[in-house]
């Protein structure tokens, strides 16, 4: 067995592990990186990238059927589902070199393509290697959680790890779970010519502001997706091409089944007990991302909390400070944005209206602006949407956007909240005309409407000054 001594061992080459490894190695640390499956992890291979590539294929199909109002005769597109999947694979292959073993070796990282498991507090065995490290970063991500629904084990089903390899178009896709995976996949598939039923135990898009989620769901239903809420999948039966899901609200039969009911942290292979790293369903960490073993950190999906690529990357950057420089660092959560890439998109940063009201009570002001008052949205025929900005004592504490390009538009508010800027910073901005982004400025402007336009004092001052101005 080959023995390696290294400054930092990173376990997992997904969004979190790669961010840390690239930074730490380029700053001079001796970094060893383990990856037991595919370089790039979930995001590149089974998550963000393939899902957004399939959504892009669906958008093309949808555009062909919706041009009537623009004087462009709608046509029924001929869908080559395997062609759409080929696009997905091509996109993965295009991005893959950035996450590859070769690129990381070029950055000076020792990359070992094996799964790792702890044997003691600072040692990990991976294949034929025994690696001792001064610090260890666990970045092993998460996998699809498949609940023990009676009958499920005997029926063929897909998860995010297998659906992108399916080449024959499902006639009728049943999706269990109405979270972001379920809703993004539902819309991509309905646009690619599948019948789609989503079965959701509680509320679809239940982690988002309900007013904004309702706008997405109305649009998805209008495209023909059947969304059954408050229906828990209780039994699954059937065979390939004929699958039945029984819920407490009724029975649904389709040709294919996709499970999208959340994630489980990848901790089974790690032998965490040998290292004294405590966990429940995920690894237990403090705000400093340190585990109960002070030499070991956990970042990204495996640390529980928000499960997004940008969070894993942010965690990776955060633990550079303590590991390389011996400095304190804490991961914040109040400034983390997220977006669901349905059409319309739904994006959030900071507190939702309900969370802000609970925390700040009557000190909260909610600023709103609708897309149908934005000139660019009108030109594009994308008027279904709105922004809400939650403001306390002149500072935004949250923003929620539903509508075209909400994921792009939320970035401005992520900047504002990350830097604790005042609402005036956005109101002072001059936005080029006509862009959708003006909705942010107009929402910010709402803060001043009662203060400037509805104030008797302002009116008095203006009248007085006007009397003396020559
Ligand atoms: C369908 C889908 C769509 C998504 N879309 C988005 C999106 O649009 N935007 C967004 O921000 N997030 C999205 N996500 C979430 C995002 O993919 C994850 O949050 C992100 O990949 C987490 O990064 P990570 O580094 O923690 O883990 P991962 O990317 O999962 O990487 C972990 C790596 O560790 C490896 N590994 C596991 N155990 C071991 C071991 N013992 N030894 C060695 N290696 C090991 C795994 O093989 C894996 O490659 C999506 C997820 C899914 C499933
Ligand atoms: N655009 C993005 O950023 C994006 C896209 C996809 C995934 N993700 C990440 O991946 C994570 C996982 O996504 P997800 O959609 O799998 O999980 P999720 O936890 O967000 O949603 C799962 C849904 O399944 C429902 N459910 C659970 N058991 C059920 C049952 N027996 N019957 C019917 N419904 C049931 C839950 O009520 C929940 O609404 C997300 O939380 C997010 O962090 C992000």
Per the CB < 8 A criterion, the answer to whether 49 and 43 are in contact is yes
- Find how far residue 433's CA is from the centre of its chain: 30
> What number does the ligand 1 atom closest to the CA of 37 have?
47
CATH superfamily of 152-261: FAD/NAD(P)-binding domain (3.50.50.60)
Q: pLDDT for 297-328, tens place per residue?
A: 999 999 999 999 999 999 999 999 999 999 99
39 labelled ligand-binding: no
Tokens 């789609």 locate to 196
Q: pLDDT for 184-228, tens place per residue?
A: 999 999 999 999 999 999 999 999 999 999 999 999 999 999 999
Domain boundaries, the chain: 2-39+100-144+264-325, 152-261, 337-453
> What does the pLDDT read at residue 436?
98
| Ligand 1 close to Cβ of residue 312 (< 6 A) | yes
| Ligand 1 close to Cβ of residue 407 (< 6 A) | no
CATH class of 337-453: alpha beta
187 CA from centroid of ligand 1 (Å): 22
> What number does the ligand 1 atom closest to the CA of 116 have?
42
Judged against a pLDDT cut of 90, whether residue 57 lies above it is answered with yes
Quick one: which ligand is closest to 341's CA? 2
Distance, in Å, from the CA atom of 27 to the CA atom of 102, rounded to the nearest integer, reads 19
Per the CB < 8 A criterion, the answer to whether 347 and 407 are in contact is yes
Distance, in Å, from the CA atom of 29 to the CA atom of 35, rounded to the nearest integer, reads 19
Regarding pTM above 0.90, the answer is: yes
Rounded mean pLDDT of 350-357? 98
Q: Whose CA is nearest to atom 6 of ligand 2?
A: 181
Strands 242-247 and 116-120: unpaired
- The closest alpha carbon to 52, from 407, 349, 381, belongs to 407
- The closest alpha carbon to 315, from 277, 288, 276, 281, belongs to 288
262 labelled ligand-binding: yes
Q: Whose CA is nearest to atom 52 of ligand 1?
A: 47
390 labelled ligand-binding: no
H or E stretch covering 392: strand 386-392
Note the CATH number of domain 2-39+100-144+264-325: 3.50.50.60
CA distance from start to end of the chain: 92
Distance, in Å, from the CA atom of 93 to the CA atom of 49, rounded to the nearest integer, reads 11
> What does the pLDDT read at residue 470?
86
**Is 337-453 in the same CATH topology as 152-261?**
no
180 CA from centroid of ligand 2 (Å): 6
pLDDT band at residue 135, thresholds of 50, 70 and 90? Answer: very high
Look up the ipTM and state it.
0.98
335 CA from centroid of ligand 1 (Å): 21
């Amino acid at each position: 067995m080959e023995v390696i001594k290294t400054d930092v061992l990173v376990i997992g080459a997904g969004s979190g592990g790669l961010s840390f490894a690239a930074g730490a190695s380029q700053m001079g640390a001796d970094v060893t990186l383990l990856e037991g499956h595919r370089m790039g992890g979930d995001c590149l291979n089974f998550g963000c990238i393939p899902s957004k590539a399939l959504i892009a294929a669906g958008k093309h199909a949808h555009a062909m059927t919706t041009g009537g109002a623009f004087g462009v005769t709608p046509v029924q597109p001929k869908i080559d589902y395997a062609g759409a999947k080929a696009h997905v694979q091509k996109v993965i292959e295009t991005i893959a070199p950035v996450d590859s073993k070769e690129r990381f070796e070029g950055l000076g990282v020792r990359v070992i393509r094996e799964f790792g498991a702890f044997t003691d507090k600072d040692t990990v065995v991976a294949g034929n290697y025994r690696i001792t490290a001064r610090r260890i970063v666990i970045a092993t991500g998460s996998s699809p959680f498949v609940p023990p629904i009676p009958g499920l084990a005997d029926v063929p089903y897909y998860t995010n790890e297998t659906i992108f390899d399916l080449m024959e178009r499902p006639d009728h896709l049943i999706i269990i779970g109405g979270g972001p995976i379920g809703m993004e996949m539902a819309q991509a598939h309905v646009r690619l010519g599948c019948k789609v039923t989503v079965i959701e135990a509680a509320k679809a898009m239940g982690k988002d502001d309900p007013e904004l989620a309702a706008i997405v769901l109305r649009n998805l239903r209008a495209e023909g997706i059947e969304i059954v809420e408050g229906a828990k999948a209780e039994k699954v039966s059937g065979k390939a091409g004929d699958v039945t899901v029984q819920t407490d609200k009724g029975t649904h039969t389709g040709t294919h089944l996709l499970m999208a009911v959340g994630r489980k942290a990848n901790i089974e292979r790690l032998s965490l007990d040998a290292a004294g790293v405590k966990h429940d369903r995920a690894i237990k960490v403090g705000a400093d991302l340190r585990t109960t073993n002070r030499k070991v950190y956990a970042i990204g999906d495996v640390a529980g909390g928000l499960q997004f690529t940008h969070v894993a990357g942010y965690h990776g950057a955060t633990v550079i400070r303590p590991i390389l420089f011996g400095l304190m660092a804490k991961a914040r959560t109040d400034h983390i944005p997220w977006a669901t890439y349905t059409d319309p998109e739904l994006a959030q940063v900071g507190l939702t209206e309900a969370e802000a009201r609970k925390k700040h009570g009557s000190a909260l002001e909610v600023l709103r602006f609708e897309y149908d008052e934005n000139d660019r949205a009108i030109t594009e025929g994308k008027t279904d949407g709105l922004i809400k900005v939650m403001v306390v004592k002149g500072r935004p504490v949250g923003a929620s956007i539903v509508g075209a390009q909400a994921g792009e538009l939320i970035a401005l508010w992520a900047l504002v909240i990350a830097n604790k800027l005042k609402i005036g910073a956005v109101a002072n901005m001059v936005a080029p005309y006509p862009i959708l982004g003006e909705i942010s400025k107009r929402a910010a402007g709402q803060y001043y409407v009662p203060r400037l336009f509805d104030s008797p004092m302002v009116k008095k001052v203006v009248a007085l000054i006007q009397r003396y101005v020559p």
